[in-house]
Amino acid sequence: MNPCIESTIGWKHPEGYYIFNRPVAGEYRVTRYLYKEHIGELLPSEEVRHTCDHPWCVELTHLLKGSHQDNIDDMVNRGRNAKGEKHGSAKLTKTEVLEIRQRHENGVTQKQLAMEYGISKGHMSAIIHREYWK
């Protein structure tokens, strides 16, 4: 596989993609422009995906088109989605989850734990049964 190449055009968006301004179209992702110019047409609903997982990469052999769902599936399958403490709505830490499971094994009820940690009993059940925080 060819090494990644970082764009030398445009400015880097906080999400890592390079963007440049086109006179009529306004802001445009560099990878989308390069894909259309060198590989093929893209429908407005199609996205440029990276086989290398580097949004700043413009190496043409690392780019492929797909749907938004394809892009999300890539993220999940490659473990790049936020989970655990890194998830924006996480209320617990990994240490607390491990402590909860241990305390439940030692006889503390789900209801007691849910009240103590400020979460619903259903959420507590999902943590204890490893549906959440696997």
Domain ranges of the chain: 11-77, 85-128
Residue range 33-53: mean pLDDT, rounded: 94
Backbone angles phi, psi at 49, to 5 degrees: -105, 160
In whole angstroms, how far apart are CA 44 and each of 12, 18, 67, 69? 22, 18, 10, 14
Residue range 49-78: mean pLDDT, rounded: 93
For the record, the structure tokens of 88 come out as 């924006």
pLDDT tens for 113-130 read 999 999 899 989 999 999
pLDDT tens for 51-64 read 998 999 999 999 99
pLDDT tens for 4-28 read 999 999 999 988 999 998 787 788 8
Cα–Cα–Cα angle for 19, 53, 65, rounded to 5 degrees:
70
**Contact 114/120 with Cβ under 8 angstroms?**
yes
Residue type, 95: T
**Contact 25/75 with Cβ under 8 angstroms?**
no
**pTM higher than 0.85 for the full model?**
no
